[in-house]
């Protein structure tokens, strides 16, 4: 990828800098030549890029913008944690293959329950 970017504000510009990969923030495409609607290209490309995110039969994924949640359901929080870990183990090689990283500082496990004796989150192992 041989892309260069620069910032233009009013009549001033920064020098251009080469970027290695990714979609530049604010990249737009134009659709419907009659109506000319501009849309941010990044979210659309992210959805296409992650369309083959691995799944399991015991968990679900939910994506919004560039955030992905993995959801598991089980009466036993330990079993739900195990199902979640299985899914994470499947996703890990996919992330490496597509040169993506999970942001561990923004990743957490949260348990939801109607029972009063279930912790809302489990300690990291």
Q: pLDDT digit string (tens) for 19-69?
A: 776 655 555 554 544 444 445 666 777 788 888 999 999 999 988 777 889
DSSP tally for the chain: helices H, then strands E:
2, 8
Q: What is the pLDDT of residue 24?
A: 57
How much of the chain is in helix, strand and coil states, percent to nearest 5? 25, 25, 50
Q: What is the pLDDT of residue 108?
A: 86
Q: From the CB of residue 72, how many other CB atoms can be counted at a distance below 10 Å? A: 20
Q: What is the pLDDT of residue 111?
A: 82
Q: What is the pLDDT of residue 123?
A: 55
Give the predicted TM-score (pTM) of the model.
0.63
Domain ranges of the chain: 52-125
Q: From the CB of residue 51, how many other CB atoms can be counted at a distance below 10 Å? A: 8
3-class secondary structure, 5: strand
Q: Could you give the percent of the chain with pLDDT greater than 70? A: 74
In sign, the C-alpha dihedral spanning 28, 62, 101, 53 is negative
Q: What is the pLDDT of residue 41?
A: 65
User: In the structure encoding, which two tokens stand for residue 63, read together?
Assistant: 């994506």
Contacts of 63 (CB under 8 A, 6+ apart): 47, 50, 53, 69
Q: What is the pLDDT of residue 57?
A: 93
């Amino acid at each position: 990828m041989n892309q260069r970017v620069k910032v233009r504000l009013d009549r001033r510009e920064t020098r251009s800098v080469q970027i290695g990969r990714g979609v530049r923030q604010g990249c737009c495409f134009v659709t419907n030549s009659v109506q000319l609607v501009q849309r941010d290209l990044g979210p659309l490309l992210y959805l296409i890029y992650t369309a083959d995110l691995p799944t399991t039969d015991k968990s679900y994924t939910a994506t919004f913008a560039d955030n992905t949640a993995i959801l598991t359901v089980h009466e036993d929080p330990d079993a739900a944690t195990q199902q979640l870990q299985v899914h994470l183990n499947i996703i890990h090689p996919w992330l490496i293959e597509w040169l993506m990283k999970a942001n561990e500082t923004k990743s957490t496990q949260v348990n939801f329950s109607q029972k009063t004796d279930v912790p809302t989150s489990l300690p990291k192992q």
